[in-house]
Amino acid sequence: MSGMTPRENFWRAVNHQEPERVPIFWGGTNSSIVPAHYNALCAALGVRPAVRPVGDFGTVNLQPELKARFHSDVELLILGSPPRRRLEGGVVQDGMWGFRMKEVGGYRTFPDTLAPLRRARNVEDVENHPIWPDPDGAVYCADQRAIAQKLHGTGKIVLGEASYAGAPFFIYPWLRGVDQWMMDPYANPGLYHHLATKITNLSEAILERWLSDVGEYLDVLCFYDDIAMQTGPMVSLDHYRRWILPYERRLVDKARTLTKAKFSIHCCGSCYDLLPGFIEVGYDILNPVQTRAKDMEASRLKKDYGERLCFYGGLDIQRLLPFGTPDEVRQGVKDLIRTLGPGGGFLFATSHNIEPDTPPENIVAMFDAAYELGRYPVGLS
């Protein structure tokens, strides 16, 4: 029977024990819906859309009504951020690191051509960048402790979203351009180390303050690290170990001392080959588990890494959810729960934010199936 709170359920699942039911992670920043489709979903459900729904990563922070409709077990706590500035041509400048974004086709994008450090040649050019976060700034932590306490009091699973202080290798390419981020270790290693270290140090200082306030209330702390494509990792495991892992490990090691939360790493695409590296950094949970990508079949992940990682995500948004029928979606949910659910270690969510070509009836079918079929025991009997 449903005697467990969502939090108790989660802690069993994340510790690889069978909970009462599979926790539903609808409403984490990358298990939400894109802004371009949000109003259509609200209209289909007869729910009033929130006034300013869009969060830091350009996806929707869902209102309670929408979360309740789909049995969500999570509450989101997002690090505070300084105000953005509107520049010309629809470009928006981030207030924390000074990178630039532009709305294209309903998505927030970060074009390489707008990267402010694109032309930097050396350490001095990096230092001359005018906008860096001030770790002592009150904006990051304002009111956060009281909010965290309140969210914790709901008994739901509290997801700490460290936002732009938990994504050093989002910030690097946004400041410098994705292509340069990949080439710098070889073409300009001095600049690479300087910039990566600077981002890590500042992120660490902000995290330290924030977690001192809210760390005790968090169940999950989310970090970001997009380094894989549909067909495989963008970089070799060797590149990851040398040029990314050491910086991330410092952040994670520091954060560990300030919270008992489990650590989630967001990496889209085919990151199977990078999983040993993620485990080495100290991540406990993988998100968004893009099961259509190469080598990312649920059964393979469960068999090879099911004892060491929890899977947060997995329901295919590239084909099944937009193009399947409600019955096919229901079957997909069933298969996923039967594959990833046994023994715990599975947190149900989509394999990324729901896209605009997704019929609302498929979304309803998906969550209702997850709620209904997620009750343990879930294995094939």
Partner 1 sequence: MFDDLVAALSRGNREKSLSEVNRLLAQGVDPFAIIEQGLMEGMELVGQRFETGEYFLPELLLAGRVIEACTAILKPLLPVDGTRAKASIVLGTVAGDIHDLGKNIVANTLESAGYRVVDVGVDVPAERFLEAVREEKAPVLCLSALLTVTMVEMKKVIDALRGDPELKGVKVLVGGAPLDEEHARKIGADAYGRDARHALLKVRELAV
Enumerate binding residues for partner 1 (CB under 8 A): 36, 102, 104-107, 109, 111-112, 178-179, 182-183, 185-187, 229-236, 239, 269, 317-318, 322, 355-357
User: In degrees, to the nearest 5, what angle opens at C-alpha 20 toward C-alphas 16 and 23?
Assistant: 70
Q: Considering beta carbons, is residue 83 or 105 the nearer one to partner 1?
A: 105
CB of 36 to partner 1, least distance (A): 8
Q: Which of 373, 347, 271, 369 is nearest to 26 (CA)?
A: 347
Q: Considering beta carbons, is residue 109 or 122 the nearer one to partner 1?
A: 109
CB of 105 to partner 1, least distance (A): 3
CB of 259 to partner 1, least distance (A): 33
Q: Which residues contact 25 (CB under 8 A, 6 or more apart)?
A: 31, 72, 73, 74, 157, 159, 312, 313, 347, 348, 349
CB of 233 to partner 1, least distance (A): 6
Structure tokens at 192: 């690479």
Distance CA(251)–CA(55), nearest Å, equals 23
CB of 27 to partner 1, least distance (A): 21
CB of 206 to partner 1, least distance (A): 28
Q: Considering beta carbons, is residue 80 or 356 the nearer one to partner 1?
A: 356
CB of 180 to partner 1, least distance (A): 9
Distance CA(353)–CA(365), nearest Å, equals 16
Q: Considering beta carbons, is residue 80 or 322 the nearer one to partner 1?
A: 322
Q: Considering beta carbons, is residue 72 or 270 the nearer one to partner 1?
A: 270
Question: Judging by beta carbons within 10 Å of its beta carbon (0-12, 13-18, 19+), is residue 292 exposed, middle or buried?
Answer: middle
CB of 240 to partner 1, least distance (A): 10
CB atoms within 10 A of CB 115: 22
Distance CA(340)–CA(301), nearest Å, equals 8
Place of tokens 């209209």: 43
CB 284 within 8 A of CB 262: yes
Q: Considering beta carbons, is residue 144 or 353 the nearer one to partner 1?
A: 353
CB 125 within 8 A of CB 116: no
CB 32 within 8 A of CB 353: yes
Q: Which of 91, 80, 131, 94 is nearest to 114 (CA)?
A: 91
CB of 69 to partner 1, least distance (A): 24
Rg (CA), the chain: 20
Q: Considering beta carbons, is residue 158 or 317 the nearer one to partner 1?
A: 317
CB of 182 to partner 1, least distance (A): 4
Q: Considering beta carbons, is residue 139 or 182 the nearer one to partner 1?
A: 182
Q: Which residues contact 305 (CB under 8 A, 6 or more apart)?
A: 275, 279, 286
Question: Judging by beta carbons within 10 Å of its beta carbon (0-12, 13-18, 19+), is residue 146 exposed, middle or buried?
Answer: exposed
Q: What is the largest CA-CA distance in the chain?
A: 64
Distance CA(76)–CA(27), nearest Å, equals 7
Q: Considering beta carbons, is residue 210 or 243 the nearer one to partner 1?
A: 243
Q: Considering beta carbons, is residue 15 or 236 the nearer one to partner 1?
A: 236
